[in-house]
Amino acid sequence: MRIIARCKLKEFWEKQRLAEQSLKSWYREAAQATWLSPEDIKRRYGHASFIKGNRIVFNIGGNKFRLIVQAKYEFRILHIRFVGTHSEFDRTDPEHI
């Protein structure tokens, strides 16, 4: 998959060092994947949540952090919309971020 806005991941892990390795691992795996549907993602990430607008919420770092991406399956693109702690996630509207 092509991942847009990797800089959001880096900005976050520079503030939250505990997230760095988990985000890097997610990025490597996602970049090498070919996810053509939500089912493809669900097979690998069983705890991923799917919401309106082709958005996916991933639990990162043993569920310490949240990552929201928007998928454009037909173009094999993931656009990073949000990365943060649970409390930051709770203050967002994941369907519109």
- Domain coordinates in residue numbering, the chain: 2-90
72 DSSP β-pair partners: 77
Q: What angle do CA 76, 80, 84 make, to 5 degrees?
A: 150
Confidence of residue 53 (pLDDT cuts 50, 70, 90): very high
The answer to whether residues 64 and 47 touch, using CB atoms and an 8 Å cutoff, is no
For the entire predicted model, the pTM comes to 0.93
Distance between CA atoms of residues 2 and 14, nearest Å: 22
Q: Which of the residue ranges 53-57, 85-89, 92-96 would you say has the lowest mean pLDDT?
A: 92-96
CATH 3.40.50.880 for domain 2-90: no
